[in-house]
Amino acid sequence: MEKINKNEFNIEEIIIKYTNYIYKIIKNSTIYLTNEDIEEIIEDVFLVLWNNKEKINYELSLEPYIVGITKNIIKLKYRKLKINDNIDNYENIIQNNIDIQNIIEQEEKNKIIEKTLNQMKEKDKKIFILFYYNSKSTKEIAKDLKITEINVKTKLHRIRKKLKNALVKGGYSYGE
């Protein structure tokens, strides 16, 4: 996800870049809205974004803001239209919105982790991958890499600390 420079807040570029993204969020969230309703929601998202541009944390990307704004406007639209549906469908709609935001946030976290790992020494990266992705024990890793198990544990601790710092710097709490 791309960060935006506070001094370069160009609403025209943002509209071009994020219109399809917002459209997909809306279409994945609801089946009840007409094309006119969808267009109105998209316009409202950009209006809210523009009106709140001073409140945006420019250290983070715009996607989480856009997802949150879009979800809130969809809820307002439902209230305005007084769409009645059984509670199961409503819960599914809410769950789909939550899932979309969680997926987007997890993708952002994965990018931060991947970038941080790529900046590490090759051996440290390998230890991390063997432990977390290949489910190897510290004892197996030590044997494979011909280092002590204590060394593996120490490196894993330091790697986790670096990843935690990178996630916090990226705007996420560690363990979220």
Whether residue 175 is contained in a domain is answered as yes
Whether residue 105 is contained in a domain is answered as yes
For residues 99 and 70, state if they share a domain: yes
For residues 136 and 172, state if they share a domain: yes
Please list the rounded mean pLDDT of every run of 10 residues in the chain (176 residues): 55 86 82 82 87 74 81 79 52 52 72 88 91 87 94 94 88 61
The CATH number for 142's domain is 1.10.10
User: To the nearest 10°, the Cα dihedral for 38, 44, 46, 52?
Assistant: -150
Tally of domains within the chain: 2
Q: Are 90 and 36 in contact (CB under 8 A)?
A: no
* CA angle, 53 then 55 then 102, to 5°: 95
pTM: 0.44
What pLDDT is recorded for position 103? Answer: 65
Q: Domain range spanning residue 154?
A: 120-176
